[in-house]
Amino acid sequence: MRNIKLVLEYDGTNYHGWQTQPNLPTVQATVENALTKLTKTPIQIIGAGRTDSGVHAAGQVANFHTTSQMPPTAFQKGLNATLPRDIVVCSATEVSAEFHARFSATSRRYRYTILNREYPSALSRQTSYFFPAEVAVARINALCQTLVGKHDFSSFQKVGSDRKNPVCEIYEVHWWKKEPYVYFEIEADSFLRGMVRAITGTVLAFNRKFLLTSGEKNMKYQEANTQLHRILEAKDRAAAGMSAPAHGLSLICVKYSI
């Protein structure tokens, strides 16, 4: 039995997330169907991240086991010839039997893309969130450093999630601007369901306060920092802000030690 690792890129617009769901189009089911046609045997794949409905990926990782003797490059070419155009296999490699796309991962990195100008885009409407208000990038970047480290992120977890341990360790957060976009990247050992979108929406709500509140900048930052700490300590989704839309989010890469 061989173990094949895939790196996938996909536009999540037309899918109800990564994970297979009855009677709904998902990325996992679409790739599995293509693999089954290619190998003429039922194949199940394991994904590194269960992206939600409408979320994209530039570096999703998956693996599957097969007795097929097809070379890895043939899997890549065969899948790309079979899959719809909004899912692409960037690479296919044979890995050790111990490799598990989800459990072997040491970190995952997401990027949220915001179109920050006065008018929307016809071309990037499905991959960026149109946000015409000014974004205080330096101040929200400083504020988000509060999230770095190991915390209980229950306040940013989607209601109804079945994950029992809400503790994650964030390694890095970074906001920056490159006209006409504002980007937010975050890397952690794991993420709760809906966590990145909830953090993004909450921080953008603080952004409005930064722009509207009078007084010294450091006082505004200190107040926001205190409020963000309170949101974390509440361990209650109702304490945080609204989630940013799914279509601005993309899984950028997954890192492994093996």
Q: Are 93 and 72 in contact (CB under 8 A)?
A: yes
107-256 under CATH 3.30.70.660, yes or no: yes
What does the pLDDT look like over 53-90, one tens digit per residue? 999 999 999 999 999 999 999 999 999 999 999 999 99
Model pLDDT, residue 161: 85
219 pLDDT more than 60: no
State pTM to two decimals.
0.94
Asked whether this chain's domains 2-95 and 107-256 adopt the same fold, the reply is: yes
Paired tokens of 31? 């790739």
Active site residue 152: no
The conformation of residue 33, written as its DSSP 8-state character, comes to H
Show the CA angle centred on residue 54, arms to residues 113 and 203, nearest 5°: 40
Cα gap 100→95, rounded to integer Å: 10
Q: Are 203 and 196 in contact (CB under 8 A)?
A: no
Q: Are 180 and 202 in contact (CB under 8 A)?
A: no
Amino acid at 136: A
Amino acid at 65: H
Instruction: Spell out the domain ranges in the chain.
Output: 2-95, 107-256
Paired tokens of 152? 């209980």
What does the pLDDT look like over 83-128, one tens digit per residue? 999 999 999 999 999 999 999 999 999 999 999 999 999 999 999 9
Name the E strands within 11-147.
45-47, 56-66, 87-95, 105-115, 129-130
The conformation of residue 242, written as its DSSP 8-state character, comes to P
211 pLDDT more than 70: no
- Give the number of other Cβ atoms within 10 Å of residue 119's Cβ: 8
Cα gap 189→75, rounded to integer Å: 29
SS3 22: coil
Amino acid at 81: A
If pLDDT is split at 50, 70 and 90, which confidence band does 215 have? low
What mean pLDDT, rounded, does the chain reach? 94
Exactly one of 52, 86, 162, 189 is catalytic; which is it?
Answer: 52
Model pLDDT, residue 218: 53
Q: Are strands 129-130 and 56-66 parallel, antiparallel or unpaired?
A: unpaired
The conformation of residue 40, written as its DSSP 8-state character, comes to S
What does the pLDDT look like over 132-164, one tens digit per residue? 999 999 989 999 999 999 999 999 999 988 888
| Fold category of 2-95 in CATH | Alpha-Beta Plaits (3.30.70)
